[in-house]
Amino acid sequence: MGIYDTLNAQQKKAVLQTDGPVLILAGAGSGKTRVLTHRVAYLIDECNVNPWNIMAITFTNKAAGEMRERVDKIVGFGAESIWVSTFHSSCVRILRRYADRLGYGNNFTIYDTDDSKSLMKDICKKYQLETTTLKLRGIMGSISKCKDNLVTTNEYALNTQNDFNKVRISKAYTEYQNALKKNNAMDFDDLIFNTVELFKKNPDVLEYYQDRFRYIMVDEYQDTNNAQFEFIRLLADKYRNLCVVGDDDQSIYRFRGANIRNILDFEKVYPDATVIKLEQNYRSTQQILDAANAVIGNNYGRKEKALWTEEKDGEKVHLRQFDTAYDEAEFIASDIGKLKRSGKLSYSDTAVLYRTNAQSRLIEERFVHEGIPYDIVGGTNFYSRREIKDLLAYLKTIDNGRDDIAVKRIINVPKRGIGATTLEYVQNYADERQISFFDALCEADQIMAVSRSASKLKDFVTMIRAFRTKQKSYSLEELLKDVIDITGYMDFLKTLDDDDDSGDNDRAANVDELISKIAAYEESDEVEEPTLSGFLEEVALVADIDRIGEDNEKVLLMTLHSAKGLEFEHVYLAGMEENVFPSYMTLQTEDSDPEGIEEERRLAYVGITRAKRNLTLTAAKRRMVRGETWFNQLSRFVKEIPGEYLDREKPEFDKPAFLFDDGDSIDEYEGVEDTYGTSGRYSDEDDSYRSSGRYGNGDSYGKSGGYSGIGVKSSYQNKNFGSDNGASQLSNSYKIKAKPAPKKPRAVPQSKPYIATAAKTHVKGSLAGISKGMPMKTAKPEYETGDRVSHIKYGIGTVTSLEEGPRDYKVTVNFDDCGQKIMYAAFAKLKKM
């Protein structure tokens, strides 16, 4: 049977067990994607299952894409009719057909986290729901939890037991859902929740999909939440051919509602389940696996398993500890550079992983310095960047006036002299009449209270209507460029970050990328009828990880979370320090939530097992976090790795981090009694601190204005500190934190010049170089810098610069009447005088 012979015994068992519930516990790197794809092939080729009856759910679009590709290769025929998609996109697909059964329009829009937040903000304001203890974040969190657990607004309302906060949350939940419905919108959680609701209330719909998906496979099952579980359970209920694949040791999304019990209790829900463990690892060396096993072994309540490999040759795991995060970043960059030069490393097979997005900046700077090409995953998702959201909000407004959030976002962007008060009146008018915000704007004349601003509102409406008219004859790309041009959006961006121009460049480049993206969408073969709504939908569900291409010769920088499911020859885990990883937040809540630390450990496990051959752990003794200097001890996860698996350059690494070595650039360090018998402060002669932050006046830190760095134990109180100093609350002797003194920040040696260059080649978070098939370019305009030109709206001016963009020329004109404007040449339709 050919292709199945390459599988090991356990893998083969997993492939051949096609019927009934199956739980595959697949350790990291144990070839689970291979198993899944072979299983699909087996179902089709050997069991005569119609591809149409197979559904495979993955976590990210990228994973879905990869699975689809591999299935296509191995199946050959009919592969395209298999549903391979994420939970969210599956649900969208179903809801697009049946949302009307729930009282939504089938063309509902999808709100991202930002959109939901602004909607909720309005609601909280309207009903005065926020208190000192109950903030927006908490309300949103509670509601999200409700949806994850399939608790409806009514059910929640019945269970408030007159608890003060619960009553408020209940009100917020109810109003929020009402508002969503009115806006014909759903948030991420709703997509799953509503699909389950749809299935429960409409047996005919459920049965249709049950009959359709006779064989269901779910990847990354350990990260499903209760609603997702219910979605799957309902679908699989008729034929019970449900195969879930996961690894409880890699469950890292609890904060998002993932319920590790879904995988741990699978056998309780399906007592007849076949359980198969895949423990042979085909990815990493024994040394790396030993380290991973040693770390994860400290967790309780896991399904016992031990990864092993036949790959015995390998280096030890490298450990390097540095004085500062700068040194750490410098090492990573230079080490990668060195290995690359000696031919031992390829950029595309190398990743730097860290706990928080904020850690990327320093590393990024050093990469630029060393000339190492890189790409950053995550941070602010391309589609959550301000400039992109603004432009998309214009497109949404043009597409569908019912989306109040989009309209409000852009009504005064760029500034049109329409302020908060005016908007409030308009909103009240809309509320009274139960009409949309945009419809209210159309009747601005009727709203007495805004009579003074009525003309501005009318101008806005007229502009949007003009776009709608143009939409009929324009391509999407033309429409977007026209929006940018008419609104003077590039101009507005210029005013945004005037302190330094690098951010500005990024933003402009991101706008270029959006144009490329919309053009690529229009020209894509996969879309038969490109529409504005289609584009907006496609864009709504992309995760940042989805855009990584394989072929790029670039080092990837990303969080540990983003790295799940990926593998690299060389992996650097940066910031292996207490309070960084495990995170400060987790350690703070350790008593009330002991499971937090277990999840962090799983995250460490995920990180370590990303490496195939070469793993380097790095840590810094001190680093700047949100304007404070933190002194952290080496991460407990490093200490959990037995010394014999480690190659460490500094044998004294595990002494308390704040005992500085002789070479350290600290002039004075006084010991004070505490857990470690020390703590101290620095003299202010020391200039090695690149502190910044707003500590404009040193009074609260003591007269000396000196540096107060302390090692703290729970009972330690330092009177020189403001009472809000987090240090006094620290309960674990690992934690050492200090505040910087007012000090002239030492010029950071890298900085601007090459950051600016970097923006051109590696646009952070943009799609630079990723969208394929950039089509033909607009011809060079007839005019040049210095020429006098005329514009239909702005009149006559002088061209001050003509810059070549990826798809079009960007022309800057200094108009005699309205000053400088930046626009796209193809759209400005400038006439040379």
- Cite the active site residues: 32-33, 219-220, 250, 610
Non-local (6+) Cβ contacts of 330 within 8 A are 366
- Separation between Cα atoms, residue 9 and residue 757, nearest integer Å: 53
Q: What are phi and psi of 23, to 5 degrees?
A: -115, 120
Segment interacting with DNA, rule: CB under 7 A, options 7-15, 296-304, 577-585, 647-655: 577-585
Rule CB under 7 A: is residue 487 a binding residue for DNA?
Answer: no
Interface with DNA (CB under 7 A), residue from 18, 165, 412, 732 = 412
Query: Which single residue is written with the structure tokens 């609260």?
Result: 700
Read off the tokens for 11: 């893998």
Segment interacting with DNA, rule: CB under 7 A, options 9-17, 73-81, 391-399, 543-551: 543-551
What is the contact mask toward DNA in residues 792 to 821, using x (rule: CB under 7 A)? ------------------------------
Q: How many residues does the chain have?
A: 833
What is the contact mask toward DNA in residues 369 to 408, using x (rule: CB under 7 A)? ---------x--x---------------------------
Segment interacting with DNA, rule: CB under 7 A, options 81-89, 162-170, 196-204, 570-578: 81-89
Neighbours of 87 (CB within 10 A): 22
Read off the tokens for 616: 């380097």
- Separation between Cα atoms, residue 588 and residue 592, nearest integer Å: 9
Q: Which is nearer to DNA, 292 or 413 (CB)?
A: 413
Rule CB under 7 A: is residue 694 a binding residue for DNA?
Answer: yes
Site for DNA in 93-122 (CB under 7 A): 113
Q: Is 26 annotated as a binding residue?
A: yes
Rule CB under 7 A: is residue 334 a binding residue for DNA?
Answer: no
Read off the tokens for 185: 């919108």
Interface with DNA (CB under 7 A), residue from 93, 97, 256, 780 = 256
Q: Is 509 annotated as a binding residue?
A: no
In SS3 terms, 658-679 reads as CCCCCCCCCCCCCCCCCCCCCC
Rule CB under 7 A: is residue 544 a binding residue for DNA?
Answer: yes
* Amino acid at site 775: P
Rule CB under 7 A: is residue 222 a binding residue for DNA?
Answer: no
- Separation between Cα atoms, residue 720 and residue 666, nearest integer Å: 21
Q: Which is nearer to DNA, 141 or 337 (CB)?
A: 141
User: Which residue in 221, 289, 287 sits closest to 605, CA to CA?
Assistant: 289
Rule CB under 7 A: is residue 583 a binding residue for DNA?
Answer: yes
What is the contact mask toward DNA in residues 148 to 187, using x (rule: CB under 7 A)? ----------------------------------------
Least distance from DNA to the Cβ atom of residue 545, Å: 5
- Separation between Cα atoms, residue 790 and residue 529, nearest integer Å: 36
Rule CB under 7 A: is residue 452 a binding residue for DNA?
Answer: yes
Interface with DNA (CB under 7 A), residue from 422, 487, 510, 632 = 422
Segment interacting with DNA, rule: CB under 7 A, options 339-347, 414-422, 614-622, 639-647: 414-422
Task: Confirm if 382 and 545 have CB atoms less than 8 A apart.
Answer: no
Interface with DNA (CB under 7 A), residue from 78, 203, 371, 627 = 627
- DSSP-derived letter for residue 163 is -
Least distance from DNA to the Cβ atom of residue 143, Å: 12
Rule CB under 7 A: is residue 740 a binding residue for DNA?
Answer: no
Q: Is 31 annotated as a binding residue?
A: yes
Q: What's the chain's Rg over C-alpha atoms?
A: 29
Rule CB under 7 A: is residue 348 a binding residue for DNA?
Answer: no
Q: Which is nearer to DNA, 11 or 766 (CB)?
A: 766
Q: What b-and-e string marks burial along 742-760, b requiring 16 or more CB atoms within 10 Å of the CB?
A: bbeeeeeebeeeebeebbe
Interface with DNA (CB under 7 A), residue from 21, 31, 51, 596 = 596
Q: Which is nearer to DNA, 329 or 558 (CB)?
A: 558
Rule CB under 7 A: is residue 732 a binding residue for DNA?
Answer: no
Q: Which is nearer to DNA, 238 or 416 (CB)?
A: 416
Q: Is 30 annotated as a binding residue?
A: yes
Would you call 523 exposed, middle or buried from its count of C-beta atoms within 10 A (0-12, 13-18, 19+)?
A: middle
Query: Which single residue is written with the structure tokens 């890699």?
Result: 250
Rule CB under 7 A: is residue 420 a binding residue for DNA?
Answer: yes
User: Which residue in 542, 493, 500, 488 sits closest to 821, CA to CA?
Assistant: 488
Segment interacting with DNA, rule: CB under 7 A, options 41-49, 84-92, 195-203, 752-760: 84-92
Interface with DNA (CB under 7 A), residue from 57, 278, 345, 541 = 541
Compute, in degrees rounded to 10, the torsion defined by CA atoms 438, 443, 446, 449: 30
Interface with DNA (CB under 7 A), residue from 154, 159, 421, 704 = 421
Would you call 529 exposed, middle or buried from its count of C-beta atoms within 10 A (0-12, 13-18, 19+)?
A: exposed
Interface with DNA (CB under 7 A), residue from 562, 614, 632, 771 = 562
Rule CB under 7 A: is residue 127 a binding residue for DNA?
Answer: no
Rule CB under 7 A: is residue 545 a binding residue for DNA?
Answer: yes
Rule CB under 7 A: is residue 250 a binding residue for DNA?
Answer: no
Non-local (6+) Cβ contacts of 158 within 8 A are none
Q: Is 27 annotated as a binding residue?
A: yes
Rule CB under 7 A: is residue 488 a binding residue for DNA?
Answer: no
Interface with DNA (CB under 7 A), residue from 356, 688, 778, 798 = 356
User: Which residue in 779, 795, 786 sits closest to 831, CA to CA?
Assistant: 795
Q: Where are the alpha helices (DSSP H) in 128-246?
A: 136-148, 153-158, 164-182, 188-201, 203-212, 226-236
Q: What are phi and psi of 278, to 5 degrees?
A: -105, 110
Interface with DNA (CB under 7 A), residue from 280, 692, 731, 790 = 692
Q: Is 33 annotated as a binding residue?
A: yes
User: Which residue in 216, 218, 199 sits closest to 208, CA to CA?
Assistant: 199
User: Which residue in 636, 705, 580 sits closest to 295, CA to CA?
Assistant: 636
Interface with DNA (CB under 7 A), residue from 16, 167, 358, 486 = 358
- Separation between Cα atoms, residue 606 and residue 129, nearest integer Å: 40
Helix axis angle, 226-236 to 136-148, nearest 10°: 20
In SS3 terms, 462-474 reads as HHHHHHHHHHCCC
Task: Confirm if 679 and 708 have CB atoms less than 8 A apart.
Answer: no
Q: Which residues bind DNA (CB under 7 A)?
A: 59-60, 86-88, 113, 135, 137, 188, 252-253, 255-256, 355-358, 378, 381, 412, 415-422, 452-453, 541, 543-545, 558-559, 561-562, 583-586, 596, 626-627, 692-694, 696
Please give the annotated binding residues, written as ranges. 26-33
Please give the annotated binding residues for ATP, written as ranges. 26-33
